[in-house]
Amino acid sequence: MGGGPFYNRYNWLGAFRAFYVFTNPLAFIIALIRHSAPPYVRVRTPIGGITLRLRNFENLKTLFSIFCRQDYRVSGRARYLFLDIGANVGFASAYFLSRNDSNIVQCFEPDISNLDYLKGNLANFPERATISDQAIHVSDGVSVLYRSPDGKHSSLHPSDRAWLPHQAVSHKFADVLAEAAIIALPTIIKIDVEGTEGDLVQSVKFEEYPFIKRLIVEANYCSKLITRPHTRRLRNGYVEDLTFAI
């Protein structure tokens, strides 16, 4: 649930929300204590309860950070297109889709071990979610994705957590944004790509994409790489939430 979980005030605030978010909060607490994860959990959302499938304990921590700690907090009052870059097993997308009945999401997740979980978790939103198994990079082509055994830390950069090489088709970030413009909806982008967030942000000029309203990125340095006027909020100590000026 983030570094130093017992000393992180954001985790404690999220823990209070967990008693409402999870339909069975006791099972969630037991799973945390045991460092395990149930195969499924059910959470309350503005559009009703949804059931989500987990593959491991890392997924349970991610679910907590999104639905309880609200790392990607968004309002459900308006309709948005969300680009979920680094979708993992789909919890962020499920969160965005469950804020109202009209949001749509485009997911990008190149780790093949996550895809069945991602598809299952978005199965309740067949008309509002699309899934691509491509990696998003600064250019098109074939890249080496270094997969992590837990599926959470897979990256285009090898690390002590991600070392299993796998060929992945890369789609240029600028082209993804150009394709999103065709949909003609205000757009929120979430980026969690384990170390290449800055590369993606620097590869485009956000002034050229006025339809992009927010950028939520798992890094704390991308704001200074962007020249388009924006306000910055650091959520829960490490997630940059950038809102662009109109």
Does residue 3 have a pLDDT over 50? no
Q: Alpha-carbon Rg of the chain, whole angstroms?
A: 17
pLDDT band at residue 202 under the 50/70/90 scheme: very high
Output the DSSP codes for 98-139: TTSSS-EEEEE---HHHHHHHHHHTTT-TTTEEEE-PEEESS
Local structure of residue 80 (DSSP, 8 states): -
5 versus 233: the higher-pLDDT residue is 233
Give the domain ranges of the chain: 73-244
Q: What is the CATH number of domain 73-244?
A: 3.40.50.150
C-alpha span between 44 and 20 (Å, rounded): 7
Six-digit token string for 31 = 């799973």
Does the reported pTM lie above 0.85?
Answer: yes
Mean pLDDT of the region 86-112: 98
Mean pLDDT of the region 190-217: 96
SS3 of 24-43: the string is CHHHHHHHHHHCCCCCEEEE
